[in-house]
């Protein structure tokens, strides 16, 4: 679809709602009036930064602003799409989706005032999670700005330490691992869920390292060396973290 293909269906959508639309007014693709209300629409084949900046500029004189783009099914379920729509909500910009044949126009976002109280609650939850993840990490084992690499999260650190202790001491129970200093709350779930496939259950309450676990210990050898520092892994009866 071309931008001009979006014009007629959006124009008709506005007219059905009582607006009087006209094209190319004050730089707007569409400016529509209804009583004292002025509504601007920017037409674009791709929802990108350029059209968002144009829409923000139209807010200088329009009461409401929409962006209209073709409806692309697969795009609606991507992380990038969710991030863009969140941005549009914060900017109080509406979004219209036009079907490929131009027969239907769907209001995906209404340009209503942003719900700042709800945003503050979400901010508090996410900030709490971010700080908790930061504090649980033993060190800084990742490189900022890289893509498509496995990150060393607090959860992965805990799993690596468990695998290391099992590799040195042999099969043990979650209780014994906790006594040696592993995460008091997550040790059992890390072993039972076995997200990475690093462990094998020998019997009830007894676990060992799997072949994949030994591979991980080699792969993350530098991380394991730092994580295990301060643990008395040679003596099970007195093992404890000294830092």
Q: Report if residue 215 sits inside a domain.
A: yes
Q: Do 97 and 158 belong together in one domain?
A: no
Per the domain annotation, does 45 fall within a domain?
Answer: yes
Q: Are strands 105-109 and 94-98 parallel, antiparallel or unpaired?
A: antiparallel
Run means of pLDDT, 10 residues per run, the chain, 243 residues? 89 94 90 92 92 93 93 78 90 92 86 76 84 84 74 91 94 93 91 94 92 94 83 44 37
Domain interval for residue 183: 154-238
Same domain, 13 and 77: yes
CB 14 within 8 Å of CB 4: no
The answer to whether position 43 is within a domain reads yes
Please state the pTM of the whole predicted model.
0.62
Residue 200 lies inside a defined structural domain of this protein: yes
Q: Which of 86, 43, 81, 84 is nearest to 65 (CA)?
A: 43
Domain match, 164 and 93 both: no
- Two structure tokens written together for 209: 């390292």
Token couple for 12: 């008709």
pLDDT value, residue 231: 60
User: Per the domain annotation, does 130 fall within a domain?
Assistant: no
The CATH code of the domain that includes 28 is 3.40.1350.10
The Cα 191–Cα 219 span in angstroms is 20
Q: What is the rounded CA–CA span in Å between residue 232 and residue 224?
A: 14
Question: What is the pLDDT, as a whole number, of residue 235?
Answer: 44
Q: What is the pLDDT of residue 88?
A: 94
- In the chain, the number of structural domains is 2
Question: What pLDDT is stored for residue 234 in this prediction?
Answer: 43
Cα separation values, 89 from 40, 52, 66, 67, Å:
16, 12, 11, 12
Is residue 68 packed enough to be buried (19+ CB in 10 Å), middle (13-18) or exposed (0-12)? Answer: buried
Q: pLDDT value at position 10?
A: 94
How many CB atoms neighbour CB 17 within 10 A?
Answer: 11
Query: Token pair 């390292």 is at which residue?
Result: 209
Does some domain include residue 143?
Answer: no
CB neighbours of 9 closer than 8 A, spacing ≥ 6? 98, 99, 102, 103, 104, 105
């Amino acid at each position: 679809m071309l931008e001009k293909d979006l014009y007629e269906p959006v124009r008709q959508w506005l007219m059905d709602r009582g607006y009087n639309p006209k094209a190319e007014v004050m730089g707007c693709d569409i400016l529509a009036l209804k009583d004292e209300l002025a509504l601007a629409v920017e037409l674009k084949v791709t929802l990108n930064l350029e059209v968002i900046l144009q829409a923000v500029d139209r807010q200088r004189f329009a009461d409401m602003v929409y962006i209209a783009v073709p409806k692309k099914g697969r795009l609606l379920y991507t992380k990038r799409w969710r991030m863009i729509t969140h941005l549009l909500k914060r900017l109080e910009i509406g979004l219209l989706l036009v079907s490929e044949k131009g027969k239907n126009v769907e209001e995906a976002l209404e340009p209503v005032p942003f719900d700042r109280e709800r945003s503050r609650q979400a901010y508090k939850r996410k900030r709490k999670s971010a700080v908790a993840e930061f504090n649980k990490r033993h060190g800084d084992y990742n490189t900022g700005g890289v893509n498509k690499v496995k990150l060393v999260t607090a959860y992965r650190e805990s799993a690596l330490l468990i695998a290391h202790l099992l590799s040195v001491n042999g099969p043990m129970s979650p209780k014994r691992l906790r006594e040696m200093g592993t995460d008091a709350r997550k040790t059992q779930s890390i072993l039972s869920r076995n997200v990475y496939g690093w462990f094998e259950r020998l019997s009830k309450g007894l676990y060992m390292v799997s072949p994949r676990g030994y591979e991980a210990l080699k792969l993350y050898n530098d991380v394991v060396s730092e994580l295990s520092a301060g643990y008395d892994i040679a003596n099970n009866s007195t093992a404890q973290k000294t830092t």
